[in-house]
Amino acid sequence: MPPSITFQARFETDEEKVWKHIPFAVPAGVTQMHISISYNDRIDSSPMLKGGNTLDIGLFDPLGYASGSPGFRGWSGSNKTEITIAEDWATPPYRGGKIEPGDWYLLLGSYKTGPNGLTADVTVEFNSTYPAPERPPLPALATLRRGELPAPVEPNWYRGDLHMHTVYSDGDSYPHELTVAAYELGLDFYGITDHNRAQSPVPLVPHGDGWPILIPGVEVTSYAGHFNVWGGSDSWYDFRDYSEVGQQTAVNAALADGALISMNHPKPYGPMWDYPDITGFVCTEPWNGWWGGLNNLATEFWGDQLDSDSAAQWRIGICGSDMHKLKSPGDPTSPLSNATMGWPTLWLQIDEELTQAAIIRAIRAGKAFMSESPWGPQLIVSREGDRVRVHVAAAAGDALLAIGTSGCVASTAIGSDDEVFSWEIEELTPGENRYVRFEIHHPGGNVRALSNPVWT
C-alpha cells in the first residue's frame, strides 16, 4: 500500500458555486487516513469579500454520494482543510467508522472563484497516526450555577435559542459546552443546527436531570440560501443541488420526516433566500443575531410574506442567535460583533410537560414571541373575543407599535415595566388588513421585541 496519494482539482473562473465529486482509491487495511487540502488565493467565506477563492469541502465513502446516501461522512464548508478519519474517531464534523476499501469521494464546492481560477492540491495519507483531539469534560450539574432571569409575567412561558453552531460545523465549542452555557444562562431549551451535519447532536449532550432541553436540528446550507430543520430524522438533506427544484426536493425530504422547517435570515448577507415560491416552510426567521444586523429588512420580508397569498406557510415568526463563537461573545451595541447565545430569545407558551415534541407543537401553533435577550422585554399577545390583549414587561420608556398590512395602525407609550393594553380587533385591522402584530421599539430606534400575528 502506498503511504499516501496526491491529486488536484481545478475550477475555472466561470465555475463558481459548482460542486465536484473527486474520486480517490483507498486500499484495504487502512485504519486511519488524513486528508490535507490547499488552494490558491484563499479568502474568507464572508459574502462581503471578493476577488479570491473559497472552497467548501465534504466527504463520501464507497456507499456513494446519492442524495440521502449513508455514505455521507461529513461536510465542513470552508472551515477546515485538514481532515482525519479513523475507525474510532474523526475530525468534527466528520464521522468516524470503518474505512472500507474502494472509491471514496472528496466533495469540493467552489463557493467563490477568483480571477486566477481555483486549483486545489490534495494529499491523502494512509494509516496515519494522528491522535484524537481532547474534548473538554462535562462538569457535574451540581457544580454549575443556574442563570437567574426575570420570571415570565404569565404562566407556562419558556425561553430558548433555537439556532446555534458547534465544532460539528463552524462553531468553536463542543455540543455539551452549549448545554452547559444554556443552563448557566437560564434557558429552558436550546437548538443545535450545525450546517449540513452528518450526525445528530443527541448522543453528544446530557439530557434530563434539570438540563435544558435540546432541540436537535440541521441548517441545510446551500448556495441558494439556508433553512433550518428540527424534529426530523438523523438523515442529512441534500444541499448540493441549489436549483429551485433541488431545494424543493430537500424541503420535501425533511417534510416526509415530519420535520419543522424555517427559512433562515432573509436579509442581505444572511444570505438571502433565492426561491420564495418553494413551499413547505412553516416558519420564517425575521430576527437573526443582533437587531442592528439588518433584521429590519428580514422583518420587512416576513411582513411581505404575511401579506401574500402564501401566508399560511410563512406566518410563524421565530428567531435565533446563529451563534458560532461561544467562547468569544459579542456586544449588542456592535451589530458586526460575534453573535451571542440568547440574543435574541424565542419565548414559547407551552401548557403541557416541557418536551422536545411540546416545543415543536408550540412553534407550529404560533404561540411565540421574540425578545432581544433572555431578560426580555416580554410581549405576550392574545385574542380575547373581539379584543386583542397585549401584556408588556421590562419595557418602560419604550413604545408599543401595532403593525398590519398597511403598516403601523396604532402606537402607545409604555409607562411601566408591567403593563396591559387592549384594543378592539376591528380598530387594528382597518380595510384589507388581515392581521395585526406588535413590536416594542426603544427610543434609540432598535426593535426590542416582536410578536406573532393575530389574524382576523
CATH architecture of 147-376: Alpha-Beta Barrel (3.20)
Q: Round to whole Å and give the CA distance between 147 and 282.
A: 31
- Of 129, 92, 111, nearest to 39 (Cα)? 111
Q: Round to whole Å and give the CA distance between 99 and 20.
A: 22
pLDDT of residue 311: 58
Q: pLDDT of the chain along its 456 residues, tens only?
A: 789 999 999 999 999 999 999 999 999 999 999 999 999 999 999 888 999 999 999 999 999 999 999 999 999 999 999 999 999 999 999 999 999 999 999 999 999 999 999 999 999 999 999 999 999 999 999 999 999 999 999 999 999 999 999 999 999 999 999 999 999 999 999 999 999 999 999 999 999 999 999 999 999 999 999 999 998 778 899 999 999 999 999 999 999 999 999 999 999 988 888 888 899 999 999 999 999 999 999 999 999 989 886 656 768 999 999 999 999 999 988 888 999 999 999 999 999 999 999 999 999 999 999 999 999 999 999 999 999 999 999 999 999 999 998 899 999 999 999 999 999 999 998 887 889 999 999 999 999 999 999 998
pLDDT digits (tens, 9 = 90+) for 290-342: 999 999 999 999 999 898 866 567 689 999 999 999 999 999 888 889 999 99
- Of 37, 38, 35, nearest to 91 (Cα)? 35
* Residue 277 amino acid letter: D
Q: Round to whole Å and give the CA distance between 261 and 253.
A: 11
Query: pTM for this one?
Result: 0.96
Number of Cα atoms under 13 Å in the Cβ half of residue 428: 26
Q: Per the structure block, which three cell numbers stand in for 304?
A: 411581505
Q: Per the structure block, which three cell numbers stand in for 277?
A: 415560491
Pairing of strands 399-404, 378-384: unpaired
Cα–Cα separations (whole angstroms), residue 91 to 50, 97, 127: 29, 12, 15
Asked if 144 and 212 count as a contact pair (C-beta separation under 8 A), the reply is no
**Phi, psi angle pair for 175, to nearest 5°:** -55, -40
4-126, CATH topology level: Jelly Rolls (2.60.120)
Contacts of 389 (CB under 8 A, 6+ apart): 381, 382, 383, 420, 421, 422
Q: Per the structure block, which three cell numbers stand in for 43?
A: 479568502
Give, rounded to a whole angstrom, the gap between the first and last alpha carbons of the chain. 71
Contacts of 419 (CB under 8 A, 6+ apart): 391, 392, 393
Domain ranges of the chain: 4-126, 147-376
**Phi, psi angle pair for 80, to nearest 5°:** -135, 145
**Phi, psi angle pair for 451, to nearest 5°:** -100, 170
Asked if 199 and 143 count as a contact pair (C-beta separation under 8 A), the reply is no
pLDDT of residue 312: 62
